[in-house]
Amino acid sequence: MKTATVKQLKDELKYLANEDLVKLCLRLSRFKKENKELLTYLLFEADDESSYIESVKMEIDEQFELINTSSYFYIKKSVRKILRNIKKYIRYSLKKETEVELLLYFCKKLNAFSPSISRNVTLTNIYKRQLDFIKKKISGLHEDLQYDFDQELIGL
């Protein structure tokens, strides 16, 4: 089966009735957890971005609490998983400010993590890569936001 392009899907969805669109969305939500999460964001959380950011930050805190610190191998696996989840939440939002804020929060948590990430090259590289990525993203924001985020970045 050949997958349709986004334009083809958009054109076809224009002709459907509201009831049919609801049925399609509900059917789509049954197949993948990410589809359900995206629908949840769009329907309930897109209106209040600050509370969305706070809920994601609380989830990041919980995930950092659950990290197995017995070896750096487990720490690396957990940190990558947390970062993967953050990137997924960023994709839902599509706002650059949200992206920068969540990645800055991740870097703060990683920097304050015990045992120190400076003892492990891989964790240090993940941290540095995210800082470089944040610097690039900050340059595309409004000047006032750039200043605020730059101040937080300097704190790291």
The pLDDT tens digits of the residues spanning 61-105 come to 999 999 998 889 999 999 999 999 999 999 988 888 899 899 999
Reported confidence tier of residue 27, pLDDT bands at 50, 70, 90: confident
- At 141 the pLDDT is 76
The reply to whether the predicted model has a pTM over 0.85 is no
pLDDT at residue number 8: 81
Token pair 């930050």 is found at 57
Return left, alpha or beta for 106; rule: phi > 0 is left, psi -120 to 50 is alpha, else beta.
Answer: alpha
pLDDT score at 117: 86
